[in-house]
Amino acid sequence: MKKLLSLLMILLLLVGCSGGNPSGNDAPAEGATEETTGKTVTLQAPTPLISMDTAVATDGTSFSAMTMCMSGLVSLDADGNPVADAAESWTVSDDGLTYTFKLRDGAVWSNGDPVTANDFVYAWDRMTDPETAADYGFLWDICGIESYTAVDDLTFEVKLAAPSGFFLGLTAFASMFPMNAKFAEEKGDQYALSVNDMVYNGPYVMTSWTSGYSFEFEQNPTYWDAENYAKTYAQKVIFREITDTQTALMEYEQGNLDTVSLSGEQVDANSSAPGFVNRLAGYMYYLAINQGNNHHNRTGAADLSNVNIRKAMSYAIDREEIARVLNDGSVAAGGIVPIALAANPETGADFRDDQGYIVSYDEAKAKEFYAKGVEELGHDVTFELLYGSDEGDSIIKAAEQIQSYLEAVGFTVNLNPKPKKERLDLAGTADDHDFDVMLTRWGPDYADPQTYMDLFLEASVDYNDGGYFSEAYEALVHDAEFGAGVSDASVRWQDFLDAEKQIVVEDAGVVPVFQAGGAMIINPNISGIEFHSAAVDSYRHIVVK
């Protein structure tokens, strides 16, 4: 479906940026690796790297890894603004519908092949081909991309159905990266399965990838800005996949890591440590509720199609207490749209401030709704809560808290921890959502409420995990993206406010829980890690003291 985007919308890429401050002396800081004083840094990856294939990856760790070694038409600077990368310049037609990108003359892939406009055409064709079934193929519809062509080897032209305030910045997203067509065809189904099955056009090349342990990058001597990188940034960046926060902290203290993500009990003890930072991330964690719209006929899912049961779940959860227990900078969810994502195009107010907090904890109400639901169903409700066993201590704690709150009002909740890859496989597609309730998250791909609203449309078969459907919700989102919202930004904004109330309050189609925090320690001898609220975090510009 083509999504016609508002001519008047004003979209802000909101970025929180921190890299720690220099220690002020020449000695390595506590926790610094021996190699940090050279040009190598070793970072914790708190969640696993799933894939390096742009058509397969859907997680932040994979996208950040791709950004290390691949370049799109543009990249994002520390403030989230688009800057030239594979394209050295671009022009936009007066009507805002045609973007013409001029690629860098002389830019090559790591195997020496030239980077051409056809590499973008090939990659974009692959992403949008129904046979590829790429989860992120929907981005082309989101932007209203009508056509894209290679005018010549160094000219790439994109035509939109309507002006888009976020199209240019979105071309920095990994799903829109180019592919060396000749190399990819030669590799076939082996493409991107190992470091030898990829070629790179970004500032680094991937030199090692041991699944479940680490992945490593070294500077790419064929990158267009290689000379500047050699003088300025880390020569080698190693990511260690360590999901257990206690293990990671020990590794940091022993000098084996330069960054470490902290869990709740570690925050208070380390809040005065050099390099401690605590930021609010863009990820919104919520309960995807399977409402029976699948082929597995799960008993729990059938019961959860009852709206009173779902409302009982929402009122039963004390989000403020969960945030307090997590103690890692996370905050209670106010709705499905996170704080600091998007600004009102007329007033500049944050979406969350305009809407207010539309979910709340009320155990008495939860019990009332549960009793209504049980009366309608004729029995109590038992279900499994699926969550990621390797996605950090905070997720395990949150799942256990949710279980406790729901059982306090009458539910029987069986925890179902699975590794992230298996959890994503169980989430599946529209025909095979094999779970009852899943604690999952969504990180915004661009700075607009639409990046959340589109998740729960009937047509969003790969992301609407619970099979939620509401005619009222569909109508509101349609009006924002196809109707009056196309030409009136204030109407579009109000439609999204009303749509959020519909799914979260009226239907309890999803249950928002918390917005993730990012308490961590960064070795004071490194800087340049860029935290993006509306894009993946970037490790391209790490500077070693």
**DSSP collapsed to 3 states, 104-128:** CCCCECCCCCECCHHHHHHHHHHHH
Q: Would 543 be classed as within a structural domain?
A: no
Q: Would 253 be classed as within a structural domain?
A: no
Q: Would 98 be classed as within a structural domain?
A: yes
Q: At which of 157, 174, 196 does a domain end?
A: 196
The secondary structure of 129-177 as a DSSP string is -TTT--GGGGHHHHTTEEEEEEEETTEEEEEESS--SSHHHHTTSGGG-
Question: Residue 172's domain is classified under what CATH number?
Answer: 3.90.76.10
Q: At which of 174, 196, 218 does a domain end?
A: 196
Tokens linked to 31: 């926790």
Residue 376 makes CB contacts below 8 A (sequence gap 6+) with 306, 308
Q: Would 529 be classed as within a structural domain?
A: no
Residue 26 makes CB contacts below 8 A (sequence gap 6+) with none
Residue 427 makes CB contacts below 8 A (sequence gap 6+) with 288, 433, 435, 438, 440, 465
Of 148, 153, 103, nearest in space to 127 by CA: 148
Domain extent, residue 399, equals 280-517
Q: Give the SS3 label for residue 517.
A: strand
- Categorize the per-residue pLDDT at 429 as very low, low, confident or very high, splitting at 50, 70 and 90: low
Residues 90 and 190 in one domain: yes
Question: Residue 351's domain is classified under what CATH number?
Answer: 3.10.105.10
Tokens linked to 85: 């990368």
| Mean pLDDT, range 155-174, rounded to an integer | 91
Tokens linked to 117: 């406009």
- Return d(Cα 424, Cα 453) in angstroms, integer: 20
Q: Would 136 be classed as within a structural domain?
A: yes
pLDDT digits (tens, 9 = 90+) for 21-51: 322 333 333 444 444 445 999 999 988 999 9
Cα Rg of the chain (Å, integer)? 23
Say what angle helices 393-408 and 319-326 make with each other, to 10 degrees: 150
Q: Would 21 be classed as within a structural domain?
A: no
Residues 294 and 157 in one domain: no
Q: Would 308 be classed as within a structural domain?
A: yes
- Categorize the per-residue pLDDT at 104 as very low, low, confident or very high, splitting at 50, 70 and 90: very high
Report how many domains make up the chain: 2
Q: Give the SS3 label for residue 75.
A: strand
Q: Would 173 be classed as within a structural domain?
A: yes
pLDDT digits (tens, 9 = 90+) for 306-323: 999 999 999 999 999 999
Q: At which of 155, 180, 196 does a domain end?
A: 196
Q: What is the pLDDT of residue 293?
A: 54
Instruction: Supply angle C-alpha 123, 161, 87, rounded to 5.
Output: 40
Residues 318 and 432 in one domain: yes
- Categorize the per-residue pLDDT at 14 as very low, low, confident or very high, splitting at 50, 70 and 90: very low
- Return d(Cα 181, Cα 273) in angstroms, integer: 48
Residues 151 and 290 in one domain: no
pLDDT digits (tens, 9 = 90+) for 227-285: 999 999 999 999 999 988 899 999 999 999 999 999 878 998 999 999 999 888 888 99
pLDDT digits (tens, 9 = 90+) for 435-485: 999 999 998 888 889 999 999 998 887 788 888 999 999 999 999 988 898
- Return d(Cα 109, Cα 201) in angstroms, integer: 5
Residues 189 and 291 in one domain: no
Residues 139 and 287 in one domain: no
